[in-house]
Amino acid sequence: MKILAFDSSGMTATVAYLQDETLVCEYTVNYKKTHSQTLLPMLDEVVKTLGLDLESIDAIAVAKGPGSFTGLRIGSATVKGLALALDKPVIPVSTLDALAYNLCGHQGIVCPIMDARRNQVYTGVYRFEGLDLKTVREPSAMGLEELIAVLDRIGEPTVFLGDGVPVYREKIDREMNTGHTFAPPHLAMQRAGSVASLGAVLASCGIMQTADEHVPEYLRVSQAERERAERIRREGQ
């Protein structure tokens, strides 16, 4: 199966091309958030380097969220446009699942954390059974204290990764009782290679959608919706 993959959910912009068992190309830039300008030129670079015929791919995998709202939409709109024009299916991959998949085969708890502002992280809790990713706790936005409490209850050695690490590393070291480590730099951030690899697994289970159906999963409503809901709730009391 030939899969083109994208992740622009955070600071990292990353594009990959996977052919069956081979990651043929992965192009990752973790420098300044200008995905709107860089993502398509990055794809163009991959296509030119490989002499890739886009018509020949089978599916397009994309990090569907959570992440930066704008970043997610740049990735989604790019993928929706490509999939519409090429008439290919989309494989939606959770950003957090794909991050955890960077550490495929790891023994112990894997916990990606992405800075979600407002004193929260987007996070999920995972472990591997052999090479299979198992979700211990579904992706959500939560406070770091709550996450630490969850992980201390599980009580198994934990490895953290993601862009939340530089923000919360000290706090984790200070407040977490369970043994923990942080992933090394080459595994710590979003990689489209992981989106593609996990995407291949999902596709083999039939988890695909049409270009039209695909939308990001933000895991958080907009500020205006949240405030309106609060207002209605207050007025209802």
Closer residue to other proteins in complex, CB, 88/180 = 88
Structure tokens at 111: 């916990």
32 near other proteins, judged by CB under 8 A: no
Return the biggest CA–CA distance within the chain: 63
At its nearest, how many Å lie between other proteins and the CB of residue 15? 12
Size of the site for other proteins (CB under 8 A): 34
For residue 214 the two structure tokens come to 């695909």
**Least distance to other proteins from the beta carbon of 139, Å?**
18
Rounded-to-integer distance, Cα 77 and Cα 47, Å = 19
**Binding of other proteins by 224 (CB under 8 A):** yes
Rule CB under 8 A: which of 45-104 touch other proteins?
54, 69-70, 73-74, 76-82, 84-86
CB of residue 169 vs other proteins: minimum separation in angstroms? Answer: 30
Burial of 67: CB neighbours in 10 Å, binned 0-12, 13-18, 19+: buried
At closest approach, how far in Å is the CB of 204 from other proteins? Answer: 25
Q: How many CA atoms lie within 13 A of 142 on its CB side?
A: 18
Q: Which is nearer to other proteins, 146 or 225 (CB)?
A: 225
37 counts as binding other proteins under rule CB under 8 A:
yes
Question: Residue type for 38, please?
Answer: T
Please give the residues from 152 up to 211 whose contact with other proteins meets the rule CB under 8 A: 211
Tokens of 161: 């990764």
Selected from 223, 234, 235, 237, the binder of other proteins by CB under 8 A is 223
Query: What stretches of the chain adopt beta strand conformation (E)?
Result: 2-7, 13-19, 22-29, 59-65, 90-94, 109-115, 120-129, 132-143, 158-161, 180-182
Chain residues in the site for other proteins (CB under 8 A) = 34, 36-41, 43-44, 54, 69-70, 73-74, 76-82, 84-86, 211-212, 215-216, 218, 222-225, 228
